Each structure stands twice: as C-alpha cells, then as structure tokens.
C-alpha cells in the first residue's frame, strides 16, 4: 500500500460490502462510514464486526450516503443500480471527489447518467476489478481483432445462486471488448441466449450462455470457434477478495485523476495494447 485512504463504503452488510471493509482494514485504510438499507437487520452492528473482524471500529451502518461520506476521500459502491445512482446524486453535497463503482446491471439510461456524473467526479466503473479478468478483456479485444467473422464468439459465465443480473457485468465487459475488436458495437452484435426450435446463430453475432449454481464466485470463458478449430480463454475467481483489492487499487488511482469516467483498464495501464 502506498497511501492510506479514508473510504465511504455502500452496502456494508452485502457480500462485497463486507469483503471491502475487511480488505480495506487489513490494508490499513480508514473507513469513514458505510450505508445499508433502512430495514437491514444489521443496522445496529459495527461495520468491522459485520466484516468478520473481532474488534469494532465504532462505525455503524447509516442510511444516508451524505453522512457516510463525511470525511471520506473515495466512495466505493457495490450495491444495486438504483442505490448507486442515488448515492452519486447525494455525493454532490459532500467533498468526496472520487468514486469506485462495482455495481452491475445498469440499463442504458442509467449508464448514460453515470457517464454524465463523470463531469463531477473521477469515477472508476468496472464490471470486474480483478487483474486476471482485465487482462482477459484486453486479450479478447486483441484476438477478436485478429480473427475474421468466420470465427464465432461465444461468452459463457457461471455465478452463485444469489446473483440478480444476467449475463454478468463481466460477461458484458468481455462481449464489449470482443465487439470493439471487430470495430462493432455490442448492442448491435449481442445475441440473446439460444432457446426454441429455430435458434440458429447468425454470422457475426456474439452469443452469451449463463449458469447460476451454488456458491460459484465467478467463472468466465470466451470461446472463438471456426469450422476447424476452437480457441478458449478463461478465468476463475477463487475469492471475492480479488475484487476488493482491485477496487482499492482503483480508489487510490482515482484520487489522483481529474473528473471523468474511467475503467479498470485505465487503472492498470492496459489501454492501447495492440497485437
Ligand atoms: P449483495 O446483495 O450481497 O449486497 C448488496 C448490499 O447492498 C446489500 O447488503 C443491500 O442491502 C445493500 N443495499 C442495496 N440498496 C442499498 C441502498 N439504497 N443503500 C445502502 N445499501 C443498499 O450483493 P453483492 O454480491 O455484494 O453484489 C453487489 C453488486 O456488486 C452486484 O451488482 C454485483 O453484480 C456486483 N459485483 C461486482 C463485482 C466487480 O468486480 N465489479 C464483483 C462482485 C459483485
């Protein structure tokens, strides 16, 4: 760690919220505050204890991002689309100038609202904060650029049974990289999961397959297939700590950036890599 950060963390009783608090405290960062829903059963529990630590830090979850962000340099938000947008709105009334967004499942309209907030905050938003997935994203772009349209592109993902949105934010990030590699747009090339009596794939489409099972943290595979050969690139997340570590790296980086909307490839310096 090169810098001690003061953080506001949204959704501190969630899977990622607890992980973020735990990883941040372990790394020596300070937690200025955290939020939870008004009806959360964890409102009266210290956020360090929620994160599985023995010693409380004297911070209870609150419901207002303005209170939780008081004294925070960076806001870290892995919650739900509406909650993240409401927090962005509220943060205008705080000195917090850097935001890390891990929430997935935004609609195109919500995505454009986040892009607009990039004029006020340095925002790092990523469907996945792991180093491995961001390298896989860069590789996907490169390979898609190299292989012609006679190579079909299929993206498969598996996540735990509690996950809400599908395909995952990471699968869409990989699809976006594949589309960009082909100088196209994912919203035009995206193919809904195959189903029904006439579900043939069309040339150039990017297909998605989704599985939900047990406690899987996150598996992703990008397959490129011609009539003669198949190339598979894959990633498996073994521990949520990898997302929290990446988010904290992004938080540190965001503090030094002017307002704008950035992603994890910016943080890791993976933009502009060519074959
Ligand atoms: P979760 O349901 O376990 O946690 C979300 C938490 O946010 C819950 O505790 C919920 O009560 C809280 N919350 C919801 N609305 C709120 C509000 N208005 N104010 C305060 N708290 C609120 O979910 P999770 O598994 O931790 O995932 C959260 C999000 O992060 C999802 O969108 C998921 O896809 C995403 N995610 C992203 C990455 C990444 O690397 N980008 C990794 C894992 C998960």
The reply to whether 109 and 245 lie within a common domain is: yes
**Residue 33 falls within a domain, yes or no?**
yes
Strand partners, 62: 35
Measured between alpha carbons, how far is residue 151 from residues 21, 60, 202, 205, 226 in Å? 43, 53, 12, 10, 4
Query: Could you confirm whether 159 is annotated as catalytic?
Result: yes
The reply to whether 160 and 230 lie within a common domain is: yes
The reply to whether 139 and 254 lie within a common domain is: no
> Residue 25 belongs to what domain range?
6-129+240-267
Q: Which listed residue (125, 159, 220, 235) is catalytic?
A: 159
DSSP string, 76-95: EE-S-HHHHHHHHHHHTTSS
Expressed in angstroms and rounded, the spacing between residue 191 Cα and the centre of ligand 1 is 27
Expressed in angstroms and rounded, the spacing between residue 103 Cα and the centre of ligand 1 is 6
Q: What is the CATH number of the domain that holds 176?
A: 3.30.360.10
**Residue 124 falls within a domain, yes or no?**
yes
- How do the pLDDT tens digits run along the chain, 275 residues long? 568 999 999 999 999 999 999 999 999 999 999 999 999 999 999 999 999 999 999 999 999 999 999 999 999 999 999 999 999 999 999 999 999 999 999 999 999 999 999 999 999 999 999 999 999 999 999 999 999 889 999 999 999 999 999 999 999 999 999 999 999 999 999 999 999 999 999 999 999 999 999 999 999 999 999 999 999 999 999 999 999 999 999 999 999 999 999 999 999 998 876 65
Expressed in angstroms and rounded, the spacing between residue 178 Cα and the centre of ligand 1 is 27
The reply to whether 259 and 222 lie within a common domain is: no
Residue 196: Cβ within 10 Å count: 5
The reply to whether 10 and 120 lie within a common domain is: yes
The reply to whether 229 and 245 lie within a common domain is: no
Residue nearest to atom 2 of ligand 1 (CA): 14
CB 156 within 8 A of CB 166: no
The reply to whether 190 and 248 lie within a common domain is: no
Residue nearest to atom 40 of ligand 1 (CA): 128
Q: Is the CB of 45 under 6 A from ligand 1?
A: no
**Residue 1 falls within a domain, yes or no?**
no
Q: Give how many domains the chain has, as a whole number.
A: 2
**Residue 74 falls within a domain, yes or no?**
yes
**Residue 29 falls within a domain, yes or no?**
yes
**Residue 272 falls within a domain, yes or no?**
no
Q: What is the CATH number of the domain that holds 58?
A: 3.40.50.720
Q: 0.85 exceeded by the pTM?
A: yes
The reply to whether 11 and 109 lie within a common domain is: yes
Query: Hey, which of 40, 78, 162, 236 would you mutate to test ligand 1's pocket, going by the most ligand atoms within 8 Å of its Cβ?
Result: 78
**Residue 163 falls within a domain, yes or no?**
yes
Query: Could you confirm whether 163 is annotated as catalytic?
Result: yes
The reply to whether 174 and 208 lie within a common domain is: yes
Phi and psi, residue 108, nearest 5°:
-55, -35
The reply to whether 122 and 21 lie within a common domain is: yes
The reply to whether 221 and 263 lie within a common domain is: no
The reply to whether 197 and 245 lie within a common domain is: no
Residue 3 has a pLDDT of 86
**Residue 40 falls within a domain, yes or no?**
yes
Q: How many Cα neighbours within 13 Å face the side chain of 207?
A: 17
Residue 5 has a pLDDT of 96
């Amino acid at each position: 760690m090169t810098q001690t950060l003061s953080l506001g963390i949204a959704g501190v009783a969630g899977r990622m919220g607890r992980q973020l608090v735990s990883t941040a405290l372990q790394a020596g960062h300070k937690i200025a505050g955290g939020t939870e829903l008004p009806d959360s059963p964890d409102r009266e529990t210290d956020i360090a204890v929620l994160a599985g630590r023995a010693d409380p830090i004297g911070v209870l979850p609150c419901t207002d991002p303005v209170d939780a962000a008081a004294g925070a340099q960076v806001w870290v938000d892995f919650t739900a689309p509406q909650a993240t947008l409401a927090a962005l709105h509220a943060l205008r009334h705080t000195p917090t100038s850097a935001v890390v967004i891990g929430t997935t499942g935004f609609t195109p309209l919500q995505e454009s609202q986040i892009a607009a907030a990039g004029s006020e905050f340095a925002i790092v938003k990523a469907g996945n904060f792991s180093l491995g997935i961001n390298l896989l994203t860069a590789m996907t772009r490169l390979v898609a650029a190299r292989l012609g349209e006679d190579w079909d592109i299929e993206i498969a993902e598996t996540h735990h049974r509690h996950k809400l949105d599908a395909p995952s934010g990471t699968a869409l990030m990989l699809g976006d990289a594949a589309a960009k590699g082909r100088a196209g747009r994912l919203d035009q090339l995206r193919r809904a999961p195959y189903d029904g009596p006439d579900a043939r794939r069309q040339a150039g489409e990017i297909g998605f397959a989704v599985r939900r099972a047990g406690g899987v943290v996150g598996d992703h595979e990008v397959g490129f297939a011609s009539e003669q050969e198949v190339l598979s690139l894959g990633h498996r997340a073994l521990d949520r700590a990898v997302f929290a570590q990446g988010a904290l790296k992004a938080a540190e980086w965001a503090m030094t950036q002017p307002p704008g909307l950035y992603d994890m490839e910016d943080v890791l310096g993976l933009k502009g890599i060519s074959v």
